[in-house]
Amino acid sequence: EPEVTQTPSHQVTQMGQEVILRCVPISNHLYFYWYRQILGQKVEFLVSFYNNEISEKSEIFDDQFSVERPDGSNFTLKIRSTKLEDSAMYFCASSEAVPGSPLHFGNGTRLTVT
Amino acid sequence: AQTVTQSQPEMSVQEAETVTLSCTYDTSESDYYLFWYKQPPSRQMILVIRQEAYKQQNATENRFSVNFQKAAKSFSLKISDSQLGDAAMYFCALGTSGTYKYIFGTGTRLKVLA
């Protein structure tokens, strides 16, 4: 069964550094998402992406965040200047359509900012 | 605005017994979909079951079934014949037309007792 893959599984960075989290969505999916989860708690929406542009973003997704689909397969989340509070599990997801298709999640990237 | 509420932070069930996890939601949209996701300690979010709002029939997937009460905006998950592998966090999620995001509840941690 096709799956969403995320790399790296764990990223440690120093405060103020830039990080790029990478994702390969399921190939025939059209909608891509980033969610984050702090300490195994609430799953928070960050951004959705369709047709090479942001469809919707949350208040969390401020100017330090950006997303990109640099080629036909990868989908990236960049955090320009990381803060301690950015430490979380970041999940990439994809879906065939909205709102009826379920999200398919990757295994997540655990980001630790020190 | 759409909201999803899970009022049970933690539930316990004896192996082979049945347990019901509660979820309520709010949306003004008539076209929407509801989902239950399971997050085991491995952290990956796994789709358990999906319900279309326009369908009156409750969705079932093997030991998992839902009780969808549209008027009450309630969407509970019933797990029959509980197994040790069912121990996980369970998240209720809502996707509505007109938005490009899925909203998640705060989760219910299910413990299965041998």
pLDDT (tens digit per residue) in B72-101: 999 999 999 999 999 999 999 999 988 889
> What was the pLDDT predicted at A39?
83
Q: What share of chain A is helix, strand, coil (3-state, %, to 5)?
A: 5, 50, 45
Bridge partners (DSSP) of residue A113 are: A13
Confidence of residue B109 (pLDDT cuts 50, 70, 90): very high
Chain centre distance of CA A74: 11
State the pLDDT at residue A73: 86
| Mean pLDDT of all residues in A85-95 | 96
| Interface mutation vs chain B, best among A36, A43, A90, most B CBs within 10 Å | A43
In this predicted structure, the answer to whether residue A41 has a pLDDT above a threshold of 90 is no
Task: Look at residue B42 in the predicted model and tell me its pLDDT.
Answer: 81
Element housing B26 (H / E):
strand B24-26
B6 → chain A, closest CA residue: A42
Cβ contact, residue pair B104, A103, below 8 Å: no
Query: Is A55's Cβ below 8 Å from some Cβ in B?
Result: yes
- Tokens 């430490």, residue? A87
pLDDT at residue number A37: 96
Chain A positions touching B52 (Cβ under 8 A) are 100
Q: Is the pLDDT of residue A92 over 80?
A: yes
The shortest CB-CB distance from B100 to any of A48, A106, A107 is to A48
Model confidence at A97, pLDDT cuts 50, 70, 90, reads confident
Q: Which residues from B are below 8 Å from A33, CB to CB? A: 101-102
Residue A89 contacts residue B43 (beta carbons within 8 Å): yes
- CA pair distance A74, A67, nearest whole angstrom: 11
Q: Nearest chain B Cα to A96, which residue? A: B100
Confidence check: pLDDT of A89 > 80: yes
d(C-alpha B91, C-alpha B108), whole Å: 7
Instruction: Show Cβ contacts of residue A54 under 8 Å, excluding neighbours closer than 6 positions.
Output: A47, A48, A67
- pLDDT for A2 equals 73
Cα A92 to Cα A35: distance, rounded to the nearest angstrom: 6
Mean pLDDT for the stretch of residues A64-79: 93
Contact check, Cβ <8 Å, A108/B103: no
**Average pLDDT in chain A:** 94
Q: Which residues contact A71 (CB under 8 A, 6 or more apart)?
A: none
pLDDT of residue B43: 85
Q: Which residues of B52-73 are buried (b: 16+ CB within 10 A; e: fewer)?
A: ebeeeeebeeeebbbebeeeeb
pLDDT tens readout for residues B2-58? 999 999 999 999 999 999 999 999 999 999 999 999 999 888 899 999 999 999 899
